[in-house]
Amino acid sequence: MNFENYYPFTPAPLPYDFEALKPYISEYTLYFHHDKHYKDYLNKLNELLAASPFMQNVPLEVLTKTENADLRKNAGGVYNHELYFNSLTPNYKEPSAKMKKLISDSFGSEQNMRNKLIDTGTAHTGSGYIWLAENPNGILEVLTTPNQDTIDFDKFTPLMNIDLWEHSYYLDKQNRRKDYLNGIMNILNWEKAEDRLER
């Protein structure tokens, strides 16, 4: 995953098979999420940039903060989805000792962090994302953003995000977002999160 890519953007392949995240996320949900929703944002972003040559050399992360609402929404849709798919893994591994200490220092315990992610995501109104990010003081925080907005990259380093849009869980869980979030805790990709933290 390279967020410094420039126009024209090409779809990032799903980093696992469609059925790999069962029973937490079905192959049908992943197929529609990746091959339809995500690619629709990417195609629309390329279409908009084709008509805006002066923006074609702007990297994806910067495009998520542009004043142009259509560009910002679709760039956010690409960025957020690519981070989300890479925040999950079928080969779950516990956080490393270093990450566990950071989690404990930030939340008191790993269970407290999980509860914070689940409770904050469940309470979020409407569509958006929940983020685990490092603040300028080296402490982890749980943040939310609406729609396809991204967090403030000048203040926070994103480690992972979780999609709260209904298309990420409705085929499997209907309106039971909390059940979806509980399941997600079993497939979070802590290795990728630590890679992003170290970079």
Q: Per-residue pLDDT tens, the chain, 199 aa: give them.
A: 555 578 999 999 999 999 999 999 999 999 999 999 999 999 999 999 999 999 999 999 999 999 999 999 999 999 999 999 999 999 999 999 999 999 999 999 999 999 999 999 999 999 999 999 999 999 999 999 999 999 999 999 999 999 999 999 999 999 999 999 999 999 999 999 999 999 8
Residue 81 sits in the same domain as residue 101: no
Domain that holds residue 116: 97-198
Residues in the chain: 199
Of 178, 171, 120, which Cα lies nearest the Cα of 144?
Answer: 120
Residue 76 sits in the same domain as residue 121: no
Residue 47 sits in the same domain as residue 137: no
Does 183 fall in a domain?
yes
Does 107 fall in a domain?
yes
* Strand duo 140-146 + 157-163: pairing: unpaired
- Indicate if the alpha-carbon torsion angle 172, 176, 177, 181 is positive or negative: negative
Give the CATH number, domain containing residue 191. Answer: 3.55.40.20
Q: Which amino acid type is present at position 61?
A: E
Give the CATH number, domain containing residue 38. Answer: 1.10.287.990
Residue 76 sits in the same domain as residue 110: no
Which of 46, 63, 86 represents a domain boundary (last residue)? 86
Edge-to-edge strand ranges of the sheet holding 140-146? 140-146, 128-134, 157-163
Does 1 fall in a domain?
no
Q: Are 47 and 121 in contact (CB under 8 A)?
A: no
79-114 residues labelled b (16+ CB within 10 A) or e (exposed): bbbbbbbbbbbeeeeebeeebeebbeebbeeeeebb
Q: What kind and span of H or E run contains 132? A: strand 128-134
Residue 140 sits in the same domain as residue 65: no
